[in-house]
Amino acid sequence: MVDFIFEEHFKVRDYELDLQGIVNNSVYQNYLEHTRHEFLNAKGLNFRELHETGYDAVVIRAEIDYKKPLRSGDAFVVKIGMEREGRLKMVFHQQIVRTADQQIMVNAKIFAACIFNGRPIEPLFIFEKLGI
Amino acid sequence: MVDFIFEEHFKVRDYELDLQGIVNNSVYQNYLEHTRHEFLNAKGLNFRELHETGYDAVVIRAEIDYKKPLRSGDAFVVKIGMEREGRLKMVFHQQIVRTADQQIMVNAKIFAACIFNGRPIEPLFIFEKLGI
Amino acid sequence: MVDFIFEEHFKVRDYELDLQGIVNNSVYQNYLEHTRHEFLNAKGLNFRELHETGYDAVVIRAEIDYKKPLRSGDAFVVKIGMEREGRLKMVFHQQIVRTADQQIMVNAKIFAACIFNGRPIEPLFIFEKLGI
Amino acid sequence: MVDFIFEEHFKVRDYELDLQGIVNNSVYQNYLEHTRHEFLNAKGLNFRELHETGYDAVVIRAEIDYKKPLRSGDAFVVKIGMEREGRLKMVFHQQIVRTADQQIMVNAKIFAACIFNGRPIEPLFIFEKLGI
């Protein structure tokens, strides 16, 4: 297991809830993605700028374990750690923790790759900035 | 591998795209969920009515392989097959196929369980209707 | 009042509902937008292609009357009519009608303009295709 | 014009952008709604609890002027003021201001009413807490 090296704080917004009164499953991917982009920013890598210069980070696989549901008003933290897998893949380990009681709500592994003008590449300058 | 026994037809809507010009990762979970709910309907099970009578189907794990991205205007089909795992779990096998060329865009395994008034149960009447 | 000249058929998807069990207010804008883009398509104008050639249609004002809420499973139609206002503006008149009983759920007026490379222009070739 | 009496701070998240690279029109309604709910909270009124006790605050009309678009990374504030209109309506005046340069991005008037078990009522205890 890799160490968590970055975290982003959130609070549930009511429009993210569905008719069960819990955060809809798809919305957790929004939280996870926003945290990854903020993490990249903290490392000097901007998702939009990368896109505009031809580099697209793309998710190729997501494994998400939903342990407990977030509800209206819940504050939570999304933690992130990462490692390299093989020549081309980045693996983000992410955890969503409810602030009030430190319960783990979600565990996720997100596998990403880098595309340059439509083709997978080994983005050495990105790996270097990320320290992997 | 289980057989696909139901499918739902979709077309990408532009608000589902992100700045990369492709359908955002989280949106595929919307497609997958809507297809599961339509499948349940076809089997005489309504997600909202289940909720109102105390039964909540909840996703406990998602494994999603993103093979190729959907883009503006793409028509696609979401296919679904399912099986039971152990006493409590349902496993949905889902595939998103682009209509124009029958390319597989996404493969997914969604694990769900049934909660009755907050506790996991073995929903025999549901399993029976689903034929699993 | 302008005549409706195009319509698009929809069905509520459960992820569009919020904790009140009704379609969230913001989601109606998704329905309205998708219908406008399909209408443009029918007129030989593609929103994405316009964007890629430097032309962006942008909404500058929305007036939306929410009459009755859409619920889980509702089928509905979004109707559209349009007119020109002044030299630069397009006004879309849109109505959301529940299929089952032909009740009007939403009335909307959406004001849009056309931006070329960041500046408002009078898009004559667009107005011509739209017949306004 | 009423005074602004509450504000909520936000930052654009990349999944909120569309293919034009700007925040999608519908997403501003999410920002406006979340700010209203946080404002209600600050006044001792919880949207979910109101719903669970039979009271639903519902939007009946939205007027939204889009002045300038928010982009990736933008920090912004949503301001809110309110007044009563007639016996049954609440009017929220809301403004979205980009933090970096204090530019007004959106002006909105949101008209809401209160429903109790499906029928419009004059929610005196709510108006009292809101001071209108």
Nearest CA to D11 out of D73, D66, D60 is that of D73
Inter-chain residue contact D19 with B24, CB threshold 8 Å: no
Most B CBs within 10 Å, among C8, C9, C12, C14, to test the B interface: C14
Q: What is the pLDDT of residues C36-92, one digit of tens each?
A: 999 999 999 999 999 999 999 999 999 999 999 999 999 999 999 999 999 999 999
Question: pLDDT exceeding 90 applies to what percent of chain B?
Answer: 94
Query: Structure tokens of D54?
Result: 């039979």
Q: How far apart are CA B121 and CA B57, in angstroms?
A: 10
- Chains with 3+ CB–CB pairs under 8 A to B are A, C, D
What confidence category does residue A132 fall into, taking pLDDT thresholds of 50, 70 and 90?
A: confident
Q: What is the pLDDT of residues B61-111, one digit of tens each?
A: 999 999 999 999 999 999 999 999 999 999 999 999 999 999 999 999 999
Query: Structure tokens of B31?
Result: 């497609």
Q: Are A6 and A42 in contact (CB under 8 A)?
A: yes
3-state SS assignment for residue A87 = coil
- Residues from C contacting D (CB-CB < 8 Å) are 19-20, 24-27, 29-30, 33, 48, 51, 56, 58-66, 69
Q: How far apart are CA D43 and CA D121, in angstroms?
A: 20
Q: Which helix or strand (DSSP H or E) is residue D29 part of?
A: helix D25-42
Across the interface, of C15, C30, C46, the residue whose CB is closest to B13 is C30
**Amino acid letter, residue A77:** V
Question: pLDDT exceeding 90 applies to what percent of chain C?
Answer: 94
Mean pLDDT of all residues belonging to chain C: 96
- Lowest-confidence range among C116-120, D28-32, D44-48? C116-120
Q: Given phi > 0 = left and psi -120 to 50 = alpha, else beta, which region is B67?
A: alpha
Q: How far apart are CA D105 and CA B93, in angstroms?
A: 44
What confidence category does residue D27 fall into, taking pLDDT thresholds of 50, 70 and 90?
A: very high
Res D121 pLDDT > 90: yes
What is A6-130's CATH topology?
Thiol Ester Dehydrase; Chain A (3.10.129)
Q: How far apart are CA A27 and CA C15, in angstroms?
A: 10
Across the interface, of D21, D24, D72, the residue whose CB is closest to B15 is D24
Q: Are A90 and A108 in contact (CB under 8 A)?
A: no
Q: Are C10 and C79 in contact (CB under 8 A)?
A: no
Alpha helices by DSSP H, A76-123 = none
What confidence category does residue B112 fall into, taking pLDDT thresholds of 50, 70 and 90?
A: very high
What confidence category does residue B132 fall into, taking pLDDT thresholds of 50, 70 and 90?
A: confident
Domain edges within chain A: 6-130
Q: What is the pLDDT of residues B4-24, one digit of tens each?
A: 999 999 999 999 999 999 999
Of A18, A56, A65, A74, catalytic: A18
Question: How far apart, in Å, do the first and last CA atoms of chain C sit?
Answer: 15
Q: DSSP strand E in D25-88: where?
A: 55-66, 75-85
Contacting residues for C59 by C-beta, under 8 A, at least 6 apart = C110, C111, C112, D25, D66
Query: Structure tokens of C5?
Result: 């000249």
Res D118 pLDDT > 90: no
Contacting residues for C122 by C-beta, under 8 A, at least 6 apart = C87, C88, C114
- CB-facing half-sphere around the CA of A43: CA atoms within 13 A: 23
Q: How far apart are CA A57 and CA A113, in angstroms?
A: 6
- Residues from B contacting D (CB-CB < 8 Å) are 14-15, 17-19, 21, 24, 26, 72
Q: Which residue has the tokens 């933290």?
A: A77
- DSSP-assigned states of every residue in C22-73: BB-HHHHHHHHHHHHHHHHHHTT--HHHHHHTTEEEEEEEEEEEE-S--BTT
What confidence category does residue C111 fall into, taking pLDDT thresholds of 50, 70 and 90?
A: very high
Over range A97-104, report the average pLDDT.
98
Q: Which helix or strand (DSSP H or E) is residue B36 part of?
A: helix B25-42
Question: Which pLDDT does position B1 carry in this prediction?
Answer: 73
Query: Structure tokens of A95?
Result: 């955890």
Q: What is the pLDDT of residues A1-43, one digit of tens each?
A: 789 999 999 999 999 999 999 999 999 999 999 999 999 999 9
Q: How far apart are CA C8 and CA B117, in angstroms?
A: 39
Residues of B labelled catalytic = 18
Question: Which pLDDT does position C21 carry in this prediction?
Answer: 93
What confidence category does residue A118 fall into, taking pLDDT thresholds of 50, 70 and 90?
A: confident
Most A CBs within 10 Å, among B32, B49, B59, B89, to test the A interface: B59
- Chains with 3+ CB–CB pairs under 8 A to D are A, B, C
3-state SS assignment for residue B69 = coil
Nearest CA to D116 out of D75, D56, D50 is that of D56
Distance from CA of D25 to the nearest CA of A (A): 15
Give whole-number Cα distances, C86 to C91, D61, D89, in Å. Answer: 10, 25, 33
Give whole-number Cα distances, A83 to B16, C87, D65, in Å. Answer: 30, 56, 45
Buried b (16+ CB within 10 A) or exposed e, C41-51: eeeebbbbebb
Give helix B25-42 / helix A25-42 axis angle, nearest 10°: 170
Q: Chains C, D: CB contacts under 8 A, how many? A: 58
Q: Are D15 and B26 in contact (CB under 8 A)?
A: yes
Inter-chain residue contact A15 with C26, CB threshold 8 Å: yes
Inter-chain residue contact D17 with B15, CB threshold 8 Å: no
What single-letter DSSP state applies at residue B122? -
- CB-facing half-sphere around the CA of C69: CA atoms within 13 A: 20
Give helix D25-42 / helix C25-42 axis angle, nearest 10°: 170
Q: How far apart are CA D32 and CA B23, in angstroms?
A: 25
What confidence category does residue C117 fall into, taking pLDDT thresholds of 50, 70 and 90?
A: confident
Catalytic residue check, C18: yes
For residue B18, list chain D residues with Cβ-Cβ distance below 8 A.
Answer: 14-15, 17-19
Inter-chain residue contact B65 with A60, CB threshold 8 Å: yes
Q: How far apart are CA A110 and CA B66, in angstroms?
A: 11
